């Protein structure tokens, strides 16, 4: 049983690393960004509401995200744990997650703060935009996402403050090395 929360800026490698760890641990990788992009692609009611926010690089309203997470965490494949990637993304969401977990009788084992400098992030995201054609990986939207990160997401680290579950990992290293750092940090 492992429950992990991944924090970090866009481009830090949360998604990539979370997938590897989820396979390694045999637990689901829950990426709010992936769920939202699927919802947009399938033109679901959630996707229709979320699309404009995502195209601008802004956060989708908390209420939509919380419903989504509540649904996802109530599915049976989460019995052995989960990795949350992209949620919480502001302090209000972090509080709501605390409440949700308490109501479900769960706690997170590790809160991983994956750190990478802005200059590195911008280069990585621009490269990804060219590579994968993600529509929010343009310079203008990347800058907005980084601003949103510094204003809204970075303060979550202070919110979690002195919780022993919180650990910081330097994400500015080759992918395999970051994976090893993460495995060392979360190994039981
Ligand atoms: P990245 O971390 O690279 O910016 P994500 O795939 O995590 O990419 O998120 C893409 C977009 O989806 C965000 O810019 C935002 O619009 C939306 N989003 C994802 N997670 C959340 C969340 N927890 N709260 C609000 N919006 C979110």
* Each residue's pLDDT tens digit, 147-180: 999 999 999 999 999 999 999 999 999 999 999 9
Domains of the chain: 2-186 (3.40.50.300)
Q: How confident is the model at residue 187 (pLDDT cuts 50, 70, 90)?
A: confident
CB atoms within 10 A of CB 179: 17
**Residue 89 a catalytic site member:** yes
- Strand partners of residue 27: none
Task: Give the closest residue to 61 by CA, choosing from 73, 72, 49, 74.
Answer: 49
Which residue minimizes the CA distance to atom 12 of ligand 1? 33
The radius of gyration of the chain from alpha carbons, rounded to an integer in Å, stands at 16
**pLDDT the model gives residue 23:** 97
- Name the residue of 5, 33, 129 whose CB sits within 8 Å of the most ligand 1 atoms, as the mutation to test its pocket: 33
DSSP state of 187: -
Res. 188: pLDDT tops 80: no
DSSP 3-state of 81:
strand
Token pair of 119 as six digits = 């200059």
Q: How confident is the model at residue 133 (pLDDT cuts 50, 70, 90)?
A: confident
pTM above 0.85, yes or no: yes
Contact, 178 vs 169, CB < 8 A?
yes
Please give the Cα distance from 130 to 117 (Å, whole number).
21
CA of 64 to the centre of ligand 1 (A): 12
Res. 8: pLDDT tops 70: yes
DSSP 3-state of 137:
coil
Which residue minimizes the CA distance to atom 14 of ligand 1? 57
Q: Which residues have C-beta atoms less than 6 Å from ligand 1? A: 10-11, 32-33, 36, 53-54, 57-60, 65, 86-87, 89, 93, 136, 145
Which residue minimizes the CA distance to atom 3 of ligand 1? 10
Q: What is the pLDDT of residues 45-64, one digit of tens each?
A: 999 999 999 999 999 999 99
Residue found by looking up tokens 């990795």 in the block: 83
Share of the chain above pLDDT 70, in %: 99
């Amino acid at each position: 049983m492992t429950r992990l929360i991944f924090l970090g800026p866009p481009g830090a490698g949360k998604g990539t690393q979370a997938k590897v760890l989820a396979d390694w641990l045999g637990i689901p990788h829950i990426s709010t960004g992936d769920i939202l992009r699927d919802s947009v692609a399938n033109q679901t009611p959630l996707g229709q509401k979320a699309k404009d926010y995502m195209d601008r690089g802004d956060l989708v309203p908390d209420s939509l995200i919380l419903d989504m997470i509540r649904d996802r965490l109530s599915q049976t494949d989460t019995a052995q744990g989960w990795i949350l990637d992209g949620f919480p993304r502001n302090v209000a969401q972090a509080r709501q997650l605390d409440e949700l977990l308490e109501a479900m009788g769960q706690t997170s084992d590790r809160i991983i703060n994956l750190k990478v400098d802005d200059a590195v992030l911008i280069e990585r995201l621009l490269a990804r935009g060219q590579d994968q054609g993600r529509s929010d990986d343009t310079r203008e939207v990347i800058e907005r996402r980084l601003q949103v990160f510094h204003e809204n997401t970075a303060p979550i680290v202070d919110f979690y403050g002195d919780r022993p579950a919180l650990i910081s990992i330097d994400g500015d290293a080759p992918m395999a090395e970051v994976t090893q750092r993460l495995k060392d940090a979360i190994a039981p």
